[in-house]
């Protein structure tokens, strides 16, 4: 699965820097939906069910080195490195019980491997596209997220609740590439941020790389 993502992403390396395809509102919605679908798969059912998506979109991702308006004041910036998108969370089977009613001991879950960095040539290409997207005028986009874009079991935050909020930025486009930032808050001083790189392929937007941006 990861190899297929890397091979498809490498198509960005050979593409012309200034693609002619214009982004539309449908592109913005599709890019956001792709990021939310990856967030749901990566978190797993239990964590995703405790996460709610804020309707309001943040500003478009900032250029490299610029002040990040989606990073909290108490957060720490992380060394920027594009990596392969995280694999879907492994769903552990429900506990099994013996005839005497005692629960059987489950095997220890294997350690989670860190995502591999993308090839250097692709990382340089994404950096160039990110700079182009940050310098481009705002493309037709959407103002807020509606429930139709949120992948279950995550939900749209319609009122203050005990769920952990996840905010997305407005997408920034550079031809057939899009960039969306996420900001997740698991507590007052607990959270993390990521920057997603997506590619338009056969009319659909696909996540090709992710970079961690900050942690608190």
pLDDT tens digits, 143-201: 889 999 998 999 999 876 789 999 999 999 999 999 999 999 987 788 999 999 999 99
Is residue 166 included in any domain, yes or no? yes
Q: How many domains does the chain have?
A: 1
- List C-alpha distances in Å: 26 to 43, 169, 198: 26, 16, 14
Q: Rounded CA gap, 127 and 106, in Å?
A: 44
Enclosing domain of residue 43: 21-86+116-215
pLDDT tens digits, 12-63: 555 544 444 568 899 999 999 999 999 999 999 889 999 999 999 999 998 9
Is residue 93 included in any domain, yes or no? no
Is 14 within 8 Å of 175 (Cβ atoms)?
no
pLDDT tens digits, 87-135: 898 755 555 566 766 666 656 655 667 889 999 999 999 999 999 999 9
| CB crowding 193-216: b at 16 or more within 10 Å, else e | bbbbbbbbeeeebbbbbbbbbbeb
Is residue 92 included in any domain, yes or no? no
Is 23 within 8 Å of 34 (Cβ atoms)?
no
Is residue 102 included in any domain, yes or no? no
């Amino acid at each position: 699965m990861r190899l297929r993502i890397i091979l498809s992403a490498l198509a960005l390396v050979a593409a012309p820097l200034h693609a002619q395809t214009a982004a539309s509102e449908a592109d913005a919605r599709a890019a956001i939906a792709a990021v939310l679908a990856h967030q749901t798969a990566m978190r797993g059912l239990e964590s995703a069910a405790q996460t709610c998506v804020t309707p309001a979109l943040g500003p478009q991702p900032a250029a490299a080195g610029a002040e990040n308006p989606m990073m909290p004041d108490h957060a720490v910036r992380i060394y920027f490195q594009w990596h392969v998108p995280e694999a879907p969370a492994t769903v552990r089977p429900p506990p099994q019980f013996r005839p005497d009613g005692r629960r059987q001991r489950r095997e220890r879950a294997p350690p989670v491997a860190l995502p591999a960095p993308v090839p250097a040539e692709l990382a340089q290409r994404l950096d160039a596209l990110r700079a182009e997207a940050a310098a481009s005028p705002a493309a037709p986009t959407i103002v807020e997220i509606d429930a139709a874009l949120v992948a279950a079991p995550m939900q749209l935050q319609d009122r203050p609740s005990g769920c952990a909020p996840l905010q997305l930025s407005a997408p920034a486009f550079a031809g057939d590439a899009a960039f969306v930032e996420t900001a997740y808050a698991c507590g007052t001083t607990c959270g993390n941020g990521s920057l997603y790189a997506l590619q338009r392929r056969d009319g659909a937007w696909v996540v090709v790389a992710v970079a961690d941006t900050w942690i608190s």
